[in-house]
Amino acid sequence: MTLRDFGFGKRSLEGKVTEEANALVQEVLSQNGQPFDLKIMMQNAVSNVICSIVFGDRFEYGDPDFMRLIRLLNAFVEAKPTVHDLLTMIHPLFRHLRHIGASREGKSVKMIRALQEFCGEQIEEHRVSFDANDIRDFIDAFLLEQQRAEDEQAKEKYTDRELQEILVDLFLAGTETTATTTRWALLYLMLNPDVHQEIDSVLGQSAPSYSQQNLLPYTAATLAEAMRMKPIVPIVVRAPSRDTTLNGYNIPQEAGIMV
């Protein structure tokens, strides 16, 4: 079982993205030309794409459960992760350094537990309506693997807690990052309207699709440049492909390096 079976890295994701993009456009048009903050709208759209993959369907933006999810995601971001939190995201080894930033760690952990509780409710709803012959989404696929698990090692791998943590990771890693980068890209596009010319000449009024990417090299380069200027993850652990020496320091192959 992999995420590729539910839209990640496959064209089946295109329909989910297109549906949500249309909903986002309608939400923007409903503002009737008045100034508005795109942040929440973009978060809604990105979160809903993830929801459609893991929960099996998208939410209406005003749905109470969906609004609760968005509030929890925003609360986690606004909790301002401590040095300990950031280091833990970089490498699991730093989880052992609990004494760093302990005063603020509690709020971030509290938000994560609330998100796990939300996902746990979705899991229980899926379990009630689960049909092994009709796998609707990622949760169903995970529940199916739970049923198939025979030995203790497999059962320990496919636990509800593990599923909750996977779902929370998907939302935390995929919502704010994607939404913020997309907003930056939109800002650059507004400031540089000439970039639209390729889209207008190639697509006209037709809806874009993944199959047309090769026809839009300038647009693809523009998006890549936006992600370079405002990267999702500015700090990445890298590793050398072979043993090397830098400024007198011996660096072994595949050693973790923070640049």
3-state secondary structure string across the chain = CCHHHHCCCCCHHHHHHHHHHHHHHHHHHCCCCCCCCHHHHHHHHHHHHHHHHHCCCCCCCCCHHHHHHHHHHHHHHHCCCCHHHHHHHHCHHHHHCCCCCHHHHHHHHHHHHHHHHHHHHHHHHHHHHCCCCCCCCHHHHHHHHHHHCCCHHHHHHCCHHHHHHHHHHHHHHHHHHHHHHHHHHHHHHHHCHHHHHHHHHHCCCCCCCHHHHHHCHHHHHHHHHHHHHCCCCCCCEECCCCCEEECCEEECCCCCEEC
Domains, the chain, ordered by start: 3-191 (1.10.630.10)
Residue 123 pLDDT: 96
pLDDT of 71:
94
Average confidence score pLDDT of the chain: 85
197 or 237, higher pLDDT: 197
Where residue 80 falls among pLDDT bands split at 50, 70, 90? low
Least confident of 94-98, 131-135, 233-237: 94-98
Q: Residue 190: pLDDT above 50?
A: yes
Is 60 exceeded by the pLDDT of residue 102? no
For the stretch 117-174, pLDDT in tens is 999 999 999 999 999 999 889 999 999 988 888 777 777 888 999 999 999 999 998 9
What's the average model confidence in pLDDT over 14-18? 88
Instruction: Kindly report, residue by residue over 219-233, the tens digit of the pLDDT.
Output: 999 999 999 998 877
Confidence class for position 60, pLDDT limits 50, 70, 90: very high
Q: Is the pLDDT of residue 104 over 50?
A: no
